């Protein structure tokens, strides 16, 4: 079967925005673990705009300083941030879900990170090239029955021949039957916010498992764990991993869905693609239970915005 997945470097404009949103969240949680945060970042061409809601006892945030810490330079920043709506808070304060939504968790036995192999390879190559070249970049890998057939990669401030050599090094030079597209649109030096605009949550499939696995649609970055489209997605991954190992499966999908303000999920099922079974009696699936089980009130989110939430050793990836 032919499958393709992509990954983007932390220097990609959308990922810069994810990182800014999650850095703001982490700064709030570091001082006040009960912070309610929902921050969107839009940036590009010398400007960044922050909008959303924050309710926190943390010291007033230096947004310009946070942006500079993430981006490494001064960028003109505007803000439009208010406190969380009381009408939303009243449902969350009693342990209910911070929003309605559907969350999908997944695990498979194709590699030691328990993620789809094409996604695993695209991310691993992207990390390898980013360590070498830095900056803005993308990778894409196509496999046929898990054998790599095509590699696409574009990285800022590299030349085609240099990038091809780096890919060959990553592949340990076993590239005879692999078609490599290195900087296929030509070599480029203008990247990040200089070349393109970015937006929080625009790389949803990259943030999840690649295109093989369905997603509920909710973004992760900039949201505190009361938002189930983040916390319940992490729990769904945790349950999928546990069920995969418990039952000796090759793949496992977990589905959780919620109504805003209510704590009990409307759906809590797992499937191996054949049978479907309920998992709510075996795992904590109420929002506050999830937060406590996975220890989600800590400033851990900036790292998830760089290389993805799954397969990187976070609490929801541990077999505990």
Within this chain, do residues 125 and 106 fall inside the same structural domain, yes or no? no
Within this chain, do residues 106 and 219 fall inside the same structural domain, yes or no? yes
Question: Is 198 inside a domain boundary?
Answer: no
Question: Is 179 inside a domain boundary?
Answer: yes
State which residues form the domain around 129: 2-9+117-192
Helix axis angle, 117-133 to 160-170, nearest 10°: 130
Tell me, what's the pLDDT at 94? Answer: 85
Three-state secondary structure call for residue 134? coil
Tell me, what's the pLDDT at 116? Answer: 98
Tell me, what's the pLDDT at 119? Answer: 98
User: Residue 180's closest CA among 154, 218, 158, 147?
Assistant: 154
| CATH of residue 122 | 3.30.300.10
Within this chain, do residues 121 and 65 fall inside the same structural domain, yes or no? no
Q: How many CB atoms lie within 10 A of CB 318?
A: 11
Within this chain, do residues 122 and 64 fall inside the same structural domain, yes or no? no
Within this chain, do residues 215 and 303 fall inside the same structural domain, yes or no? yes
Question: Is 224 inside a domain boundary?
Answer: yes
Within this chain, do residues 107 and 71 fall inside the same structural domain, yes or no? no
Structural domain total, the chain: 3
Within this chain, do residues 215 and 289 fall inside the same structural domain, yes or no? yes
Tell me, what's the pLDDT at 173? Answer: 66
DSSP, residue by residue, 51-99:
EEEEE--SPPP-HHHHHHHHHSS--EEEEEEEPPPHHHHHHHTTT-BSS
As a whole number of angstroms, the distance between CA 51 and CA 38 comes to: 9
Asked if residues 163 and 153 have their Cβ atoms less than 8 Å apart, the reply is yes
CA 135 from chain centre, in angstroms, equals 19
Within this chain, do residues 132 and 215 fall inside the same structural domain, yes or no? no
Q: Is the dihedral of CA 119, 122, 124, 127 positive or negative?
A: negative
Within this chain, do residues 176 and 130 fall inside the same structural domain, yes or no? yes
Tell me, what's the pLDDT at 175? Answer: 62
What's the whole-model pTM score?
A: 0.95
Three-state secondary structure call for residue 270? strand
CA 184 from chain centre, in angstroms, equals 26
Question: Is 314 inside a domain boundary?
Answer: no
Which of 139, 160, 192 is the last residue before a domain boundary?
Answer: 192
Per-residue pLDDT tens over the stretch 191-244? 999 999 999 999 999 999 999 999 998 999 999 999 999 999 999 999 999 999
Find the distance separating the first CA and the last CA of the chain, reported in whole Å. Answer: 33
Which of 192, 227, 251 is the last residue before a domain boundary?
Answer: 192
Q: Which residues of the chain have pLDDT under 50?
A: none
Tell me, what's the pLDDT at 130? Answer: 98
Within this chain, do residues 60 and 136 fall inside the same structural domain, yes or no? no
Tell me, what's the pLDDT at 274? Answer: 96
Tell me, what's the pLDDT at 176? Answer: 67
What residues contact 239, with CB distance under 8 A and at least 6 apart? Answer: 105, 254, 270, 279, 283
Which of 192, 223, 242 is the last residue before a domain boundary?
Answer: 192
Alpha helices in the chain (DSSP H): 13-31, 63-71, 86-92, 117-133, 160-170, 204-207, 228-247, 287-294, 301-307
Within this chain, do residues 40 and 171 fall inside the same structural domain, yes or no? no
Tell me, what's the pLDDT at 91? Answer: 79
Within this chain, do residues 218 and 287 fall inside the same structural domain, yes or no? yes
């Amino acid at each position: 079967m032919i499958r393709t997945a992509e990954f983007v470097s932390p220097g990609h404009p959308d990922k810069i925005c994810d990182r800014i949103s999650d850095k703001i969240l982490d700064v709030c949680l570091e001082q006040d673990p009960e912070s309610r945060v929902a921050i969107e970042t839009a940036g590009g061409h010398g400007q960044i705009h922050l909008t959303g809601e924050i309710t926190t006892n943390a010291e007033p945030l230096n947004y310009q300083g946070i942006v500079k810490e993430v981006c490494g330079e001064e960028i003109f920043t505007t803000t439009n941030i208010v406190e969380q709506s009381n009408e939303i808070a009243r449902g969350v304060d009693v342990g209910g879900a911070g929003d309605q939504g559907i969350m999908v968790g997944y695990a498979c036995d194709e590699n030691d990170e328990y993620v789809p192999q094409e996604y695993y390879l695209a991310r691993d190559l992207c990390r390898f090239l980013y360590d070498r070249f830095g900056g803005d970049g993308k990778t894409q890998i196509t496999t046929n029955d898990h054998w790599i057939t095509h590699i696409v990669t574009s990285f800022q401030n590299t030349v085609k021949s240099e990038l091809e050599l780096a890919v060959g090094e990553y592949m340990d030079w076993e590239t005879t039957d692999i078609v490599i597209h290195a900087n296929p649109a030509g070599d480029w030096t203008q990247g990040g916010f200089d070349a393109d605009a970015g937006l929080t949550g625009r790389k949803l499939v990259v943030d999840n498992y690649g295109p093989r696995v369905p997603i509920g649609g909710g973004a992760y970055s900039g949201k505190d764990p009361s938002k189930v489209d983040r916390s319940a997605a992490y729990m769904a991954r945790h349950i999928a991993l546990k069920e995969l190992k418990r039952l000796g499966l090759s793949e496992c999908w977990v589905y959780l869905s919620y109504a805003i303000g209510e704590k009990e999920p409307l759906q809590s099922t797992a499937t191996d693609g054949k049978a479907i079974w309920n998992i709510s009696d075996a795992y904590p699936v109420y929002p506050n239970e999830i937060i406590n089980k996975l220890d989600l009130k800590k400033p851990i989110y900036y790292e998830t915005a760089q290389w993805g939430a799954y397969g990187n050793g976070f609490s929801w990836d541990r077999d505990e």
